Chains A and B, each alone.
Chain A
Amino acid sequence: MLFAFIVIGVIPLYLFTHILLNSYMDKAVGNKFTQMQNQIIMLSNQMLPTGYLTLADVPEIGAEVNRIADVYQGRIVIVNNNLNIVEDTYGLYDANKYLVSKEVIQCFSGNSSRVHDKENNYLILTQPITHTTEDQKVIVGAIVMNASTKDIQTILSTMEQRAIIFSLALAMFIVIFALYFSGKLTNPLTKVVSSIDHLTEGYMDEEVSIKGYYEIEKISDSFNKMINRMKKIEDTRQEFVSNVSHELKTPITSIKVLADSLLMQEDIPVELYREFLVDITEEIERENKIINDLLSLVKLNKTAGDMNISSININELLEQILKRLRPIAKKQNIEVIYESFRPVIAEVDEVKISLAISNLIENAIKYNTPDGWVRVSLNADHKYLFIKVSDSGIGIPEEVQDLIFERFYRVDKARSRETGGTGLGLAITRNVIQMHRGAIRVYSKEGEGTTFNVRIPLNYIA
């Protein structure tokens, strides 16, 4: 990762420097060649009227040639049309030698040549000496001029050195930056990882708080939300377990008390035995009911796919439930009204829906005032069926209206015990309705009454 950073940073810089320096060199060399060419042309013009090329001694030309060679720190070799070497400023060749190089011979066809010897740092310009008259151009000789590129080279070397230093500095900077940056990036992630590890070991109290980059913060926020949710679930589970054991224990305790008190006394009349046994039986029945409710709740939870869907006449279903519950209502002198706006057939699980609606209506009856009323209404549109269960009961306080669907939750513990409640009814009801992909809402005002609205799709959606 670090390596990639360095490569990405340094290579473009290197390429850029290379290209820049090369174009500088090309330009500088081109300029130099042009200058050299100009000098040569001027020299040629001076030379032509004299007999210099035929080896006559012309000191002014000789001096001029030497001066130019000196200025360019190079060497000038002049050749006549017989390839005789007329002049060599280095003094290596003299007049009885011939220069038969390719470039010189090509000069006599009119081609000048420019060669840049990069290894030895000099330029070679080979230029014809042309005698132009009105009718013709005659090439009478050639000049070969060497010039040193030391001055260009010095500048290039300095620039190259600077570029290298800069690249190295940049690379170092990138390394430091990358190390720091990747540390900063991976640090929060590492923290998240270690928190997760902690969590799997069982510690639920870790919260990760990571400041810095937006995305990292989002990760830590989501993570914290998840941890809270898990904490809540864990708490709920523990609460449920303690609730269950408490609920199961209570009837058992009552039975024990009753039995003990019977055993403790002697000479108890048979009526007392009978009375106590009735109580004991009631408690046992209570316990049974709780266990059954629990079982059905657990079953509902586990087997979400175990729906027994069939087309049920909802009107008939409701009438059956009401028939069963009327005696209980009559005991409290509660009027039960059934309203049906139209016949309704829906794809539901008969047993489960029956249980759910029964719970609602039972509650309506249980938590009612004497001489109160319960109204059950059934309606439907082309998509849903609507069941409304209203009562004139004691109502539910606003702050706990969300909690009533929780398992074992009872607004008034004392009251529900009297009426034989387990606290599981609404939990079961809500579960069933959810399994049908329906919805349930509660509206209530303390002292006035409660209404439960249930909506279930007519066609079962899996």
Chain B
Amino acid sequence: MRRVFITLLFLMVALLSSCSGNDKNTGKKENEYQIYYIDSKSSGIVSEGYVPLENSKEQLVIELLEALNREPSNMIYKKAIPEGVTIMDYRIVDEQLILNFDTKYSELKGIPEVLCRATIVKTLCQIPGIDFVLFNVNGQPLIDSNGIQIGLMTSEFFIENTGAETNYKVTLYFANETGDLLKKTTRNIFYTGSSSIEELVINQIINGPTESGLYATVVEGTTLLNVSTREGICYVDFNEKFLEKLPDVSENVAIYSIVNSLVELPGINKVQFRINGQPADTFQNTNFGLLFERNLTINEDNQ
């Protein structure tokens, strides 16, 4: 009996400690900027925190550029701007910052050049009011190693991680109250690039709406087994639960909630369904084997 008690005690302690471990996500200090540098093995961009003294846009640009030109405190980091390269002048036009480098910049080539650019753009775009950066070399627009002219750059131009979360806006269709028409809604979803966007959209439909006035179109327990797009046709493979259909939703509403949402994505024009890997002839009383295209008439907005 005593041993049962001790085991229970252990479990409780374990539970409690795992609970408390979750609020380590304390926010950064207010007004802290990240100054970007290069990892000394030149294999990536790293950053260090920095609290500037100045407040205005102009002053911040000067201060951050100075910070970029200093060697970082961490031993294994180094600054991305190589020695000898200087900024001759700069101009701020609305949200654009135009930096003019001296000719020494042209000596930078390939990956080191890209990294240098990346650190500068990412650091400076943190300044509120600066959204774009343009590089000039001795008054002329920058041309990269492949001969391509580099235009305005934003922070998003430099992707540090293919799995990084991006904010993606998707359009979804759910059922109206009476279940015979589709209502449109848009959502911002965090997309990590680990599954395809089609998969994400379909799963959003399966999980149902969160907004009021919108109703689910797909039976709970439906799973997306597979989805792939080829030459504009998206092939969607559900498990058999999909065929059960929700009672207060018409067949067309169920089908087109998926089809119309998918067709909103670039590259998809038509949708074909499968059930458990096999083509299915009928969904309740409608023909399920055809190639479905966007149906505008079933949208409430188009009545």
Contact for B162 among A66, A83, A91, A144, CB less than 8 A? A144
Q: Is the CB of A75 within 8 A of B159?
A: no
Whether, in the assembled complex, A117 has its beta carbon less than 8 Å from a beta carbon of chain B, the answer is yes
In this complex, what residue of A is CB-closest to B198? A90
Whether, in the assembled complex, B161 has its beta carbon less than 8 Å from a beta carbon of chain A, the answer is yes
Q: Is the CB of B197 within 8 A of A100?
A: no
Known: A83-B111, A83-B114, A105-B111. A73 touches B228 (CB 8 A): yes
Q: Is the CB of B118 within 8 A of A100?
A: yes
Q: Is the CB of B161 within 8 A of A101?
A: yes
B45, B148, B196, B266 pick with most chain A CB within 10 angstroms: B196
Q: Is the CB of B162 within 8 A of A100?
A: no
Interface residues on B, range: 35 or more
User: In the assembled complex, which residues on chain B have CB atoms less than 8 Å from the CB atom of A358?
Assistant: none
Q: Is the CB of B163 within 8 A of A124?
A: yes
Whether, in the assembled complex, B282 has its beta carbon less than 8 Å from a beta carbon of chain A, the answer is no
Residue-wise, chain A 70-88 has the 8 Å CB interface mask toward B (1 for contact) of 1001010100111111000
Known: A90-B196, A146-B193. A101 touches B111 (CB 8 A): no
User: In the assembled complex, which residues on chain B have CB atoms less than 8 Å from the CB atom of A146?
Assistant: 162-163, 193-194
User: In the assembled complex, which residues on chain B have CB atoms less than 8 Å from the CB atom of A117?
Assistant: 163, 194
Q: Is the CB of A98 within 8 A of B156?
A: no
Contact for A80 among B39, B146, B226, B229, CB less than 8 A? B146
- In the assembled complex, the Cα of A93 lies from the Cα of B118 at a distance in Å of 16
User: In the assembled complex, which residues on chain A have CB atoms less than 8 Å from the CB atom of B3?
Assistant: 3
Q: Looking at the assembled complex, report how far the CB atom of A179 sits from the nearest CB atom of chain B, in whole angstroms.
A: 16
In this complex, what residue of B is CB-closest to A109? B43
Q: Looking at the assembled complex, report how far the CB atom of A141 sits from the nearest CB atom of chain B, in whole angstroms.
A: 11
Q: Looking at the assembled complex, report how far the CB atom of B143 sits from the nearest CB atom of chain A, in whole angstroms.
A: 11
Whether, in the assembled complex, A245 has its beta carbon less than 8 Å from a beta carbon of chain B, the answer is no
Within 8 A of A (CB), among B260-297: 266-267
Within 8 A of B (CB), among A102-137: 102, 105-106, 108-109, 117, 120-122, 124
In this complex, what residue of A is CB-closest to B266? A91
User: In the assembled complex, which residues on chain B have CB atoms less than 8 Å from the CB atom of A101?
Assistant: 44, 159-162
Q: Is the CB of B162 within 8 A of A97?
A: no
Within 8 A of A (CB), among B180-212: 191-197
Q: Is the CB of B193 within 8 A of A100?
A: no
Count A-B contacts at CB 8 Å.
Answer: 98
User: In the assembled complex, which residues on chain A have CB atoms less than 8 Å from the CB atom of B156?
Assistant: 97
Whether, in the assembled complex, A43 has its beta carbon less than 8 Å from a beta carbon of chain B, the answer is no
In this complex, what residue of B is CB-closest to A70? B228
Secondary structure class of chain A's binding surface, majority of residues = mixed
Residue-wise, chain B 2-15 has the 8 Å CB interface mask toward A (1 for contact) of 01000000000000
Whether, in the assembled complex, A54 has its beta carbon less than 8 Å from a beta carbon of chain B, the answer is yes
Q: Is the CB of A75 within 8 A of B193?
A: yes
Known: A84-B146, A91-B267, A144-B162. A100 touches B194 (CB 8 A): no
Whether, in the assembled complex, B230 has its beta carbon less than 8 Å from a beta carbon of chain A, the answer is yes
Q: Is the CB of A105 within 8 A of B43?
A: yes
User: In the assembled complex, which residues on chain B have CB atoms less than 8 Å from the CB atom of A99?
Assistant: 159, 162
- In the assembled complex, the Cα of A83 lies from the Cα of B156 at a distance in Å of 14
A77, A82, A100, A108 pick with most chain B CB within 10 angstroms: A100
Within 8 A of A (CB), among B32-59: 39, 41-45
- In the assembled complex, the Cα of A13 lies from the Cα of B3 at a distance in Å of 22
Q: Looking at the assembled complex, report how far the CB atom of A103 sits from the nearest CB atom of chain B, in whole angstroms.
A: 8
Q: Looking at the assembled complex, report how far the CB atom of A89 sits from the nearest CB atom of chain B, in whole angstroms.
A: 9
User: In the assembled complex, which residues on chain B have CB atoms less than 8 Å from the CB atom of A73?
Assistant: 196, 226, 228
Whether, in the assembled complex, A369 has its beta carbon less than 8 Å from a beta carbon of chain B, the answer is no
Whether, in the assembled complex, B126 has its beta carbon less than 8 Å from a beta carbon of chain A, the answer is no
Whether, in the assembled complex, B145 has its beta carbon less than 8 Å from a beta carbon of chain A, the answer is yes
Known: A98-B159, A101-B161. A82 touches B194 (CB 8 A): no
In this complex, what residue of B is CB-closest to A4? B3
Within 8 A of A (CB), among B53-99: none
Whether, in the assembled complex, A148 has its beta carbon less than 8 Å from a beta carbon of chain B, the answer is yes
User: In the assembled complex, which residues on chain A have CB atoms less than 8 Å from the CB atom of B229?
Assistant: 70
Contact for B146 among A54, A105, A148, CB less than 8 A? A54
User: In the assembled complex, which residues on chain B have CB atoms less than 8 Å from the CB atom of A308?
Assistant: none
Within 8 A of A (CB), among B133-156: 144-146, 148, 151, 156
User: In the assembled complex, which residues on chain B have CB atoms less than 8 Å from the CB atom of A122?
Assistant: 194-195
Q: Is the CB of A120 within 8 A of B192?
A: yes
Q: Is the CB of B159 within 8 A of A82?
A: no
User: In the assembled complex, which residues on chain B have CB atoms less than 8 Å from the CB atom of A91?
Assistant: 197, 266-267
Whether, in the assembled complex, A96 has its beta carbon less than 8 Å from a beta carbon of chain B, the answer is yes
Q: Is the CB of B158 within 8 A of A82?
A: no
Whether, in the assembled complex, A92 has its beta carbon less than 8 Å from a beta carbon of chain B, the answer is yes
In this complex, what residue of A is CB-closest to B122? A100
B42, B43, B148, B157 pick with most chain A CB within 10 angstroms: B43
Ranked nearest first, the 4 interchain pairs of A and B with the lowest CB-CB distance are: A102-B44, A120-B194, A83-B114, A105-B43
13 A-B pairs with CB atoms under 8 Å apart are A55-B146, A80-B146, A84-B148, A92-B191, A98-B158, A98-B159, A100-B159, A101-B44, A101-B160, A102-B44, A105-B43, A106-B41, A146-B193
Given contacts A84-B148, A100-B118, 19 further A-B pairs with CB under 8 A are: A3-B3, A66-B230, A75-B162, A75-B196, A82-B111, A90-B196, A92-B193, A97-B158, A99-B159, A99-B162, A100-B115, A100-B159, A101-B161, A105-B43, A105-B115, A117-B194, A120-B192, A124-B162, A146-B194
Q: Which residues of B contact A (CB under 8 A)?
A: 3, 39, 41-45, 110-111, 114-115, 117-118, 144-146, 148, 151, 156-163, 166, 168, 191-197, 226, 228-230, 266-267
Q: Which residues of A contact B (CB under 8 A)?
A: 3, 54-55, 66, 70, 73, 75, 77, 80-85, 90-93, 96-102, 105-106, 108-109, 117, 120-122, 124, 144, 146, 148
